[in-house]
């Protein structure tokens, strides 16, 4: 009887844990950390998928319709998801980039850069925003969401300190495939020479490529990094006839990662490990 009474007491709170969908691995990781043992969020980006070209399959559309809350960066990152969201009228939306607490920067070419999770300060802010929204939807578990967010924020601060120390010696100018990295570059004061492609990963023009090739030939750029979702040919061509060091493929959105609470830390650590190979370039 005692056990039954306990079950009856705890079941209503459990039943109110919202079904949550997310867009990309770093956001899914933050939601997973905040939900802790209470639940696991879904995630819509396929393994190896391009965040700027996210289109939902019918099964993903059904999952979105079954969810109560979508936690996502916002329409600037995944315009395809904005359309899908509009056809799920009962779905609440937490678009993290649109919250005034998020630090936003623009691309070199203008327009907001949505890759804001690459600043750990934003990740910490987002853990708090996620907890606030979940607590509102599920007041019985509010204390757990807030405690989990506090733990996540402490882990992010520890990660940030470690990455700051590791990246401090990196002083070789590098280029990347797409112009996603502004937040990382600014936060860690990295010697970035730009992206081949624009921020939405649209292929670069001939003028851009020949300008970068001249910089590589003169030694003004030391390293170039391809990306996991994009053909490395443009990067390897850039290096032809130059001393440019071609580093490992970067994965700024975590497209190659298994989703889970550790994916944010894994993503940031892998980016750091890859960038540090540039220190061996010359």
- Closer CB to Zn ion, 195 or 261, in the complex: 195
- Closer CB to Zn ion, 97 or 180, in the complex: 180
Closest CA to 226 of 198, 196, 189: 196
- Burial environment of residue 72 by CB neighbours within 10 A (0 to 12, 13 to 18, 19 or more): buried
Least separation, in Å, of the C-beta of 60 and Zn ion?
A: 19
Least separation, in Å, of the C-beta of 19 and Zn ion?
A: 27
Least separation, in Å, of the C-beta of 256 and Zn ion?
A: 14
* Alpha-carbon span 14 to 272, nearest angstrom: 39
In the beta sheet, which residues pair with residue 223?
174, 245
31 lies in the binding site for Zn ion (CB under 5 A): no
Six-digit token pair at 120? 């750990």
- Closer CB to Zn ion, 29 or 180, in the complex: 180
* Alpha-carbon span 100 to 192, nearest angstrom: 27
Total binding residues toward Zn ion, as defined by CB under 5 A: 1
Least separation, in Å, of the C-beta of 178 and Zn ion?
A: 6
- Closer CB to Zn ion, 117 or 126, in the complex: 117
Q: Quick check: helix, strand or coil at residue 247?
A: coil
What residue is closest to Zn ion based on CB? 180
Closest CA to 182 of 72, 275, 235, 104: 104
Query: Within positions 171 to 200, which residues make up the interface with Zn ion, using CB under 5 A?
Result: 180
- Closer CB to Zn ion, 50 or 92, in the complex: 50
- Closer CB to Zn ion, 39 or 75, in the complex: 75
* Alpha-carbon span 171 to 279, nearest angstrom: 7
Contact call for residues 97 and 74 (beta carbons, < 8 A): yes
Least separation, in Å, of the C-beta of 264 and Zn ion?
A: 16
Q: Give every CB contact of residue 136 below 8 A, 6+ residues apart in sequence.
A: none
- Residues forming the site for Zn ion (CB under 5 A): 180
């Amino acid at each position: 009887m005692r056990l039954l009474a306990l079950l009856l007491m705890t079941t209503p709170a459990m039943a109110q844990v919202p079904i949550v969908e997310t867009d990309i691995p770093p956001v899914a990781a933050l939601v997973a950390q905040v939900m802790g043992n209470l639940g696991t969020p879904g995630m819509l980006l396929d393994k190896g998928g391009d965040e700027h070209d996210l289109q939902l399959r019918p099964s993903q559309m059904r999952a979105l319709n079954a969810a109560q809350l979508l936690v996502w960066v916002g329409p600037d990152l995944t315009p395809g998801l904005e359309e899908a969201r509009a056809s799920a009228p009962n779905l609440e939306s937490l678009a993290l980039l649109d919250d005034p607490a998020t630090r936003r920067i623009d691309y070199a070419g203008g327009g907001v850069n949505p890759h804001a999770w690459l600043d750990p300060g934003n990740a910490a802010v987002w853990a708090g925003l996620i907890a606030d929204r979940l607590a509102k939807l599920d007041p019985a578990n509010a204390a757990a969401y807030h405690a989990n967010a506090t733990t996540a924020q402490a882990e992010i601060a520890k990660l940030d300190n470690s990455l700051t120390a590791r990246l401090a010696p990196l002083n070789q100018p590098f280029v990347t495939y797409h112009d996603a990295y502004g937040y990382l570059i600014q936060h860690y004061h990295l010697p970035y020479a730009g992206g081949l492609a624009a921020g939405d990963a649209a292929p670069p023009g001939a003028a851009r490529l020949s300008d970068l090739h001249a910089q590589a030939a003169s030694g003004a750029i030391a390293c170039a990094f391809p990306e996991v979702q994009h053909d490395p040919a443009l990067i390897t061509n850039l290096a032809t006839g130059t001393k440019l060091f071609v580093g490992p493929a970067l994965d700024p959105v975590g497209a190659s990662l298994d989703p889970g609470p550790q994916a944010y830390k894994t993503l940031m650590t892998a980016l750091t490990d890859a960038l540090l190979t540039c220190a061996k370039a010359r």
